[in-house]
């Protein structure tokens, strides 16, 4: 998240760990992945907090995520650039069939890592939670006061884990998704990354979710990741 949104108690020691937008720095012989989707996220793996993530990311190097956030992506790519690799920043302009083209480049914004908690979307189906929500629910079985109390409790716990009031727009690695529609991290699929469109461009109102199996993520088989865009 941006430095100004880092909790005050953590701000002094915060160190950058990523960036949204900008141009990619790629190793020699590696071109902008086709079909040239925008670079939306770069992650410095070595700068991430240790023993926090519930997915196994590379210990060092950079992860680069190319995808479309304004419309459902036709193709999306995650690349891992190993630490120490000789890289060159690529241009957004290119030539295709004799015609000039240009990739959309979003304004670069530096991100700082902050650990936190997330909630399973199925959390309310637990027996004790259901008993609390259904207690004295009236004729329709719904207890608005209990639902409000549960929502407030969840928000307080999440804010406490974050160290302050959590921002509404962010980039998240791992954990449970906070999707706007059906959660894609179900069964063997876990959340790799979640990107709010406004975290990249203030005028884009989408939620972009990337999921995969723990095995594929740990083995860096990023071609097996699945992408879901919600509006």
Taking the model in full, what pTM does it have?
0.88
Distance separating alpha carbons of residues 43 and 159, to the nearest angstrom: 24
Q: Which residues pair with 227 in a beta bridge?
A: 210
pLDDT at residue 215 greater than cutoff 90: yes
Helix pair 144-162, 127-134: axis angle to 10 deg:
130
| 54-107 pLDDT per residue, tens | 999 999 999 999 999 999 988 899 999 999 999 999 999 998 888 889 999 999
pLDDT at 140: 55
Length of the chain: 231
Residues 36-53 have a mean pLDDT of 94
Task: Name the token pair of 146.
Answer: 């209990």
Q: Kindly state the percentage of the chain with pLDDT values over 70.
A: 95
pLDDT confidence tier of residue 141, bands split at 50, 70 and 90: low
- Contact yes or no for 111/2 (Cβ under 8 A): yes
**Which of 72, 76, 105, 90 is closest to 200 using CA atoms?**
105
Distance separating alpha carbons of residues 229 and 206, to the nearest angstrom: 7
Distance separating alpha carbons of residues 95 and 50, to the nearest angstrom: 42
Residues 105-133 have a mean pLDDT of 85
- Say which DSSP state 46 is in: G
Number of Cβ atoms within 10 Å of the Cβ of 145: 10
Residues 6+ apart with CB under 8 A from 123: 129
Residues 179-207 have a mean pLDDT of 96
pLDDT at 169: 78
Residues 197-222 have a mean pLDDT of 97
pLDDT at 75: 86
Residues 14-39 have a mean pLDDT of 95
Distance separating alpha carbons of residues 86 and 101, to the nearest angstrom: 26
């Amino acid at each position: 998240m941006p430095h100004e949104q880092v909790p005050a108690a953590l701000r002094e020691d915060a160190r950058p760990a990523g960036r949204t937008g900008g141009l990619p720095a790629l190793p020699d012989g590696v071109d902008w992945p086709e079909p040239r989707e925008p670079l939306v996220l770069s992650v410095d793996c070595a700068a991430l907090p240790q023993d926090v993530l519930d997915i196994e990311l590379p210990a060092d190097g950079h992860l680069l995520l190319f995808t479309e956030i304004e419309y459902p992506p036709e193709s999306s790519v995650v690349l891992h650039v190993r630490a120490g690799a000789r890289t060159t920043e690529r241009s957004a302009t290119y030539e295709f069939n004799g015609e000039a083209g240009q990739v959309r480049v979003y304004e670069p914004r530096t991100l700082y890592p902050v650990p936190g908690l997330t909630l399973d979307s199925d959390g309310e189906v637990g027996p004790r939670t259901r008993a609390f929500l259904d207690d004295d629910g009236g004729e329709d079985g719904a207890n608005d006061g209990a639902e409000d109390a549960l929502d407030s409790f969840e928000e307080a716990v999440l804010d406490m884990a974050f160290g302050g009031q959590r921002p509404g727009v962010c980039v998240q690695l791992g954990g449970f998704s906070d999707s706007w529609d059906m959660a894609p991290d179900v069964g063997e699929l876990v959340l790799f990354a979640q990107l709010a469109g406004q975290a990249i461009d203030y005028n884009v109102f989408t939620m972009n979710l990337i999921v995969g199996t723990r095995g594929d993520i740990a083995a860096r088989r990023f071609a097996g990741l699945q992408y879901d865009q919600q509006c």
